[in-house]
Amino acid sequence: MQTQVSQIHFDTLIIGSGLAGLTLALNLAQSRRIGLVTKQALLDGASGWAQGGIAAVLSEEDSPETHIRDTLAAGAGLCNEAVTRYVVENGPRAIQWLITQGVPFTRDHGSETGYHLMREGGHSVRRVIHAADTTGQAVQRTLSEKARTHPNITVLEHHVAIDLITGAKLVHPGRNGNRCYGAYVLDSAAGKVNTIAAHNTVLATGGAGKVYLYTTNPDTATGDGIAMGWRAGCRVANMEFVQFHPTCLYHPHAKSFLISEAVRGEGGLLKLPDGSRFMLQHDARAELAPRDIVARAIDFEMKKRGLDCVYLDISHKPANFLREHFPNIYSRCLEFGIDITRQPIPVVPAAHYTCGGIVTGWDGKTDLENLYAIGETAHTGLHGANRLASNSLLECLVFGQAAAEDITSQPSAPPAELLQWDESRVTNADEEVVISHNWDELRRFMWSYVGIVRTSKRLQRAQHRIKLLHEEINEYYANFRVTSDLLELRNLVDTADLIVQSAMLRHESRGLHYSRDYPELLPEARDTVLKR
């Protein structure tokens, strides 16, 4: 007996409500009926946590060639130069769209642009437009309000996508199997699974930072879209390149609080407990080196000296300047007894950004017909082996708009008749403690064995543990009703497996992937592409 739930239909189903998903939804809503699925509340994704800003060529001292050159340098030879040019050249238009939506970027009436631009690590000029130090929050709030009130956008909060629906799940399976027809989605509040049909389905679920014990990401970043796309048959690329942000606040009660790149961009210095600087011993660019170099330098100094953390000191700048430019960081640190106008900030590296993802074209299309992936979920070729600071929100905007243009150019089509979700042979879970234990084990061994510095032996250990977890979770999934915790754990284990597989295939050290067994750079830069 199958669960009796009526089939829901949208023209476009968007899974994920971060900047990529919202950009796409608002650009499509004039001509399409949109279903916007989000795991928690509309504002709970990773985009809202972005502090620094959005990189774009906005001033006369800057140029597309300079932005492209900085991006390629950070990407360590693996950026797709044509894609990079496309993103950079479309950056100003994307920023202008946000301004017309009402995003309150920080003003500077004395500048040529009328907006204050910051410089961050890896950038050769000031080009990061921002809203104080809560840019992501300002952008998300502005766009979320528009999405929530738009008559053609249905927001499905507290809904968790389970799997994509491909040809095998059609009532009449003779049709094209290499195509996406929608998704099965758990309404976690009601405890039921809905079958949602859509002419186009878009994965915009963000990254997978929660696969690691320490991360700057919110709890929602569990690799859902990457795992679902992989299970449906999409290629996945460059998953070994996990960016560890160098400066996460080190405090037992400061869960996942990021200290923005912009603090170093505005003159913050990294120091040891005795007050001495160390970055110049690792790179001539010192604190303004790309994130992978800074994160490895901090990791090296901590391990060498047995330190729990290092310190980021910007107390030499005027107090009013710090309170004006970093109000969120100032107030949050103050909650933990740290006055950044007088004291250095204790920091450690933490998993921050997934550079790899589902392989897409310039329009966000994946290997499956009518399935798109945008934002951190996708591998576009922009970031290469290491993402340049503040290029992530730019990518969300540009590819969100590109996917909207492609979808709009297509004729609408009637929904396919889909098989309903079947839970006639499962029961309620007997011991949910298994999920929490497996979640904890996964994040700990990923941090220990697949972190900032890797070895072949560590990767083999991780792979062995992932195999055991896979077996346990698949058995659990087959026998018990799905819950949001089980679905996230299932996706995290699949994503961890992809990271380890990719890392084992790269026999060099490049960008964010550093191996003690293969410390040299190979002469030819190649993507790591996985196929099922």
> Residues 361-386: pLDDT tens digits?
999 999 999 999 999 999 999 999 99
Q: Are 156 and 182 in contact (CB under 8 A)?
A: no
Measured in whole angstroms, the distance separating CA 527 from the mean position of its chain's CA atoms is 19
Which residues, other chains included, contact 87 with Cβ-Cβ below 8 Å and sequence gap of 6+?
Answer: 380, 382, 391, 394, 395, 398, 399
Which one is catalytic: 32, 33, 264, 291? 291
In single-letter form, the type of residue at position 213 comes to L
Give CATH 3.90.700.10 domain extents, the chain: 245-352
Phi, psi of 35 (to 5 degrees): -110, 120
Report the C-alpha gap between 176 and 317 in whole angstroms.
Answer: 62
* The two three-digit tokens of residue 270, written as one number: 């990294």
pLDDT at 431 exceeding the cut of 70: no
Q: Are 39 and 209 in contact (CB under 8 A)?
A: no
Which among 433, 437, 441 has a CA at the least distance from the CA of 461?
441
Average pLDDT over residues 206-223: 92
CATH class (in words) of the domain with range 433-530? mainly alpha
Helix/strand/coil for 253: coil
Residue 46's pLDDT band (boundaries 50, 70, 90)? Answer: low
In single-letter form, the type of residue at position 244 comes to F
In single-letter form, the type of residue at position 197 comes to A
Report the C-alpha gap between 161 and 500 in whole angstroms.
Answer: 24
Average pLDDT over residues 172-195: 86
pLDDT given at position 174: 60
**Other beta carbons within 10 Å of 470:** 15
Rounded alpha-carbon distances, angstroms, from residue 444 to 217, 299, 315: 16, 17, 34
pLDDT at 425 exceeding the cut of 90: no
Measured in whole angstroms, the distance separating CA 396 from the mean position of its chain's CA atoms is 10
Work out the widest C-alpha separation in the chain, in whole angstroms: 71
pLDDT at 286 exceeding the cut of 80: yes
pLDDT given at position 175: 60
pLDDT at 3 exceeding the cut of 60: no
Q: Which of 250-264, 328-342, 474-488 has the lowest mean pLDDT?
A: 250-264
pLDDT given at position 4: 39
Residue 218's pLDDT band (boundaries 50, 70, 90)? Answer: confident
Task: Give the β-pairing of 192-203 and 182-187.
Answer: antiparallel
Which among 482, 480, 422 has a CA at the least distance from the CA of 3?
422
Task: Give the β-pairing of 236-237 and 529-530.
Answer: antiparallel
| Beta bridge partners of residue 418, listed in sequence order | 170
Measured in whole angstroms, the distance separating CA 145 from the mean position of its chain's CA atoms is 22
Assess whether 332 carries a catalytic annotation.
no
The residue written with tokens 């709030």 in the block is 141
Percent of the chain with pLDDT over 70: 96
Percent of the chain with pLDDT over 90: 76
Helix/strand/coil for 329: helix
| Per-residue exposure over 371-380, b if at least 16 CB sit within 10 Å of its own CB, e if not | bbbbbbbbbb
* The two three-digit tokens of residue 411, written as one number: 């004729």
Geometric angle at alpha carbon 23, from 326 and 325, rounded to 5°: 10
Report the C-alpha gap between 485 and 397 in whole angstroms.
Answer: 30
CATH number 3.40.50.970 is the correct assignment for the domain at 245-352: no
Average pLDDT over residues 346-375: 96
Residue 307's pLDDT band (boundaries 50, 70, 90)? Answer: very high
Helix/strand/coil for 352: strand
The residue written with tokens 């899974």 in the block is 15
Residue 6's pLDDT band (boundaries 50, 70, 90)? Answer: low
What tens digit of pLDDT does each residue of 457-506 get? 999 999 999 999 999 998 888 888 899 999 999 999 999 999 999 999 99
* The two three-digit tokens of residue 110, written as one number: 């004395």
* The two three-digit tokens of residue 88, written as one number: 């950079």
Report the C-alpha gap between 55 and 497 in whole angstroms.
Answer: 32
pLDDT at 163 exceeding the cut of 60: yes
Report the C-alpha gap between 532 and 530 in whole angstroms.
Answer: 7
Which residues, other chains included, contact 337 with Cβ-Cβ below 8 Å and sequence gap of 6+?
Answer: none
The residue written with tokens 């083999």 in the block is 460
Residue 177's pLDDT band (boundaries 50, 70, 90)? Answer: low
pLDDT given at position 15: 98
First to last CA, the chain: 31
Which among 66, 13, 69 has a CA at the least distance from the CA of 36?
13
pLDDT given at position 415: 77
Q: Over the chain, what is the mean pLDDT?
A: 92
The radius of gyration of the chain's CA atoms, rounded to the nearest angstrom, is 22
Helix/strand/coil for 418: strand
The residue written with tokens 């543990």 in the block is 465
Which residues, other chains included, contact 388 with Cβ-Cβ below 8 Å and sequence gap of 6+?
Answer: 55, 70, 71, 74, 75, 122, 123, 290
Give CATH 1.20.58.100 domain extents, the chain: 433-530
Q: Which of 8-17, 46-55, 285-294, 493-502 has the lowest mean pLDDT?
A: 46-55
pLDDT at 1 exceeding the cut of 50: no
Higher pLDDT, residue 213 or 180: 180
pLDDT at 5 exceeding the cut of 50: no
Q: Are 287 and 294 in contact (CB under 8 A)?
A: yes
Which among 219, 165, 183 has a CA at the least distance from the CA of 35?
183
Average pLDDT over residues 388-409: 96
Tell me 250's DSSP state.
-
What tens digit of pLDDT does each residue of 115-133 get? 999 988 789 999 999 998 7
Residue 176's pLDDT band (boundaries 50, 70, 90)? Answer: low
The residue written with tokens 């407990």 in the block is 273
pTM of the model: 0.90
